[in-house]
Structure 1
């Protein structure tokens, strides 16, 4: 008991400066503190790669020392989510500290982004989570409908935006398994329901007009599962400070237009007249969106009447495939261009189509948003690009990441929801010399749903209350 007391005092003294070492030490010394050597249960806790997120029962590992709950909560608050979930499974006392930490909203540890992907060898309701911090994968068992039957069209603040086989959309937190149905696809401006003789929706009709012109092309008819391959492209979940909840923004066809829905809405609100959008961010009730023409638009969503203005038209610096708008940690706004030189969309018989990112270029807007300058190096920062919310992170805060690199996944509509059996365009690109390295072996990933970055988050979505900003 004296050993436990001394160890506890040392840890409390060093807690502020050495929190991560403290957590590691706690796990290593736990058997000695208990008075017995490491056994199979503890080894399994440390090495088991299948994380059961929905904890319905606790794993009892002998008789553990009763560390005070407040000390456990301080220690757990310094862990990244995979370690936190494992810690919460050790015993009833640790699970109680884990639950209190989450329920009280006190867990705010910044998380290193992870890659979510499906594996052909797993059941249809299992999604893999690859931790860049730990360089290992975990398996997450998710609620119905099966994740392998869905398309993934976005990832923001710990939430995936998914599309099921009826082309309906859901928010899904793969860590907490919380799931929220979004307004029906039939409330999007361009979509109408077609009913069968029993009054059930059997098909969808989509019109091809934009906010500036009608279409000469007649409306098209699609089966329920077929629409999602033609309509939804990319989606984002943003904290909504005006309501204390959330807003979902959708880039969709025809012509990559914008619609949005706030918490409690029963329909999507269309944002005409422009189109061909590629990326967006949301800040202080203003939605900023960049399109293929290089126009940066600002939509004020705070009042009953939505207004829009063009902030800047960016000269076309590069012949690029995708454009991103990224909030930098130092306060600037970055415009990122993803360039693809290595591709073949019309291969010889027997060969596969492919589409490989070869270069990333970055520009920075000045404080007045009137001029841009080219940035040749991100120094101690990295980019995360793809169907996720575009991010620029500091390696000082996330030491597992490689400075001046871009971590990217597929972001081409043909690949994410179209050519699902083809080679995936994802990797880690060195911005100094454009050298590429793999994130995972391609043999580990199923092509559908498309792999995607996510920043894990344990906080629940309060539909009518507050959704706090990702730290």
Structure 2
């Protein structure tokens, strides 16, 4: 018995967008290739930024073997790699942060941009020359030709300024790490930058024309943001809270430094049950010669932040929760991702690898927080 070919029922685009919005990114991209109407709904969904927001995190990287124009997206859910061709190509841009679907990138002029590698959306951030320590040097046509760095602070000169080409500022590791946070009052984003000298913090809202330096403290390593407050942590366990919600920024000290707290890397994260956690990493060189080796994560410790406590309180584990550590906004999530392991930390390299040790073995893996056993996540030599 013969019959006519099956025909897909035509759903209104708004209903189809509701269905597609519930998909993980890999499934969403596949769905957009099914037919013309599905691709139209997929494109509209991307342009509106309405895709599922609680995505299982993915690992994004570039590699010489993949080619100049390819970015690889490793799905933790499917344990497979997808190849993207974002514009501009990311291979020669520095990536200094990842939050809310955006990469914070630094181009070959040392200028910063937000880039969504899935949708292609780009947002230019205020010029690096508006950060207090960078002074532009103009050529005869009044174009920025070089940078003078560092110039000065409001308090003192640091050392004799250096003159460098525009591309060299990023290679000098001026931009250490960046974060993107929702700015509820404006419905847009706040970008926070940890930068040299002395790892100060500056911030800017999208569409600001300059960066604002947060004085007077320094030596920060990580940040998180909640209800208008930016919480910044140092390697010594200091935590400062900056209120960014008012016309003038105010700061209070949540806790001071701890002489017994001396990790190789530290990250601060909001606990799902409330409060803050400090996550510390202990590292070792895989090779006796540090010039040819990279620091590898050997142990991860968790500390609860208690207001007013002189010492950090170490905790044993995070039952039914998952940590994500790296150049992303540090996350601690309830284990609602079927493919991921509870009481585990998924981690990637920190800023030192990104800018100084590109030829070294990658520090990427999964740590069992119960016994600190470690396993590779993907091939470590990307």
TM-score (norm 1): 0.75
- Report how many residues are paired: 377
**2:107 and 2:187 mapped to 1: Cα distance?**
28
Counterpart of 2:181 in structure 1 is: 238
Deviation, structure 1 residue 98: 3.1
Indicate yes or no: 2:89 matched with 1:184: no
Counterpart of 2:321 in structure 1 is: 381
Indicate yes or no: 2:70 matched with 1:126: yes
CA contact (8 A) 1:210 1:255 kept: no
2:354 aligned residue (402, 410, 416): 416
Deviation, structure 1 residue 160: 0.1
Counterpart of 1:434 in structure 2 is: 372
After superposing the two structures, state which structure 1 stretch, 196-205 or 270-279, moved more: 196-205
**2:345 and 2:118 mapped to 1: Cα distance?**
25
Counterpart of 2:162 in structure 1 is: 220
CA contact (8 A) 2:200 2:219 kept: yes
Indicate yes or no: 2:264 matched with 1:321: yes
CA contact (8 A) 1:153 1:163 kept: yes
Find runs of 4+ consecutive structure 1 residues off by over 6 angstroms: none
Deviation, structure 1 residue 244: 1.9
Could you say which structure has the higher strand fraction?
A: 2
Q: Write out per-residue CA displacement over residues 148-183 of structure 1, whole angstroms, 9 at most, x where no aligned residue.
A: 110000001110000011101110000100011111
Counterpart of 1:78 in structure 2 is: 22
Counterpart of 2:144 in structure 1 is: 201
Structure 2 counterpart SS, 1:442: coil
Indicate yes or no: 2:304 matched with 1:364: yes
**1:293 and 1:211 mapped to 2: Cα distance?**
25
Counterpart of 1:56 in structure 2 is: none
**1:301 and 1:317 mapped to 2: Cα distance?**
31
CA contact (8 A) 2:237 2:261 kept: no
After superposing the two structures, state which structure 1 stretch, 305-314 or 72-81, moved more: 72-81
What do you get for the CA RMSD once the two structures are aligned?
Answer: 2.3
Structure 1 residues 105, 427: CA separation in 2 closer, same or farther (over 3 Å shift)?
A: closer
2:338 aligned residue (395, 399, 417): 399
Counterpart of 2:191 in structure 1 is: 248
CA contact (8 A) 1:336 1:360 kept: yes
1:153 aligned residue (96, 100, 108): 96
Structure 1 residues 187, 109: CA separation in 2 closer, same or farther (over 3 Å shift)?
A: closer
Q: Write out per-residue CA displacement over residues 229-280 of structure 1, whole angstroms, 9 at most, x where no aligned residue.
A: 2211100011111222111000000011100111221111111211110001
Structure 1 residues 78, 199: CA separation in 2 closer, same or farther (over 3 Å shift)?
A: closer
Unaligned runs of 5+ in 2: none
**2:107 and 2:286 mapped to 1: Cα distance?**
30
Counterpart of 2:209 in structure 1 is: 266
**1:338 and 1:355 mapped to 2: Cα distance?**
11
Counterpart of 1:60 in structure 2 is: none
Unaligned runs of 5+ in 1: 1-33, 37-62, 446-471
Q: Write out per-residue CA displacement over residues 60-90 of structure 1, whole angstroms, 9 at most, x where no aligned residue.
A: xxx6421534664454333201101111210
Greater RCO, 1 or 2 (C-alpha within 8 Å, sep 6+): 1
TM-score (norm 2): 0.92
**1:235 and 1:362 mapped to 2: Cα distance?**
22
**1:276 and 1:210 mapped to 2: Cα distance?**
15
Deviation, structure 1 residue 373: 2.2
Deviation, structure 1 residue 117: 0.6
Whichever of the two has the greater Rg, that structure is 1
CA contact (8 A) 1:384 1:407 kept: yes
Indicate yes or no: 2:244 matched with 1:301: yes
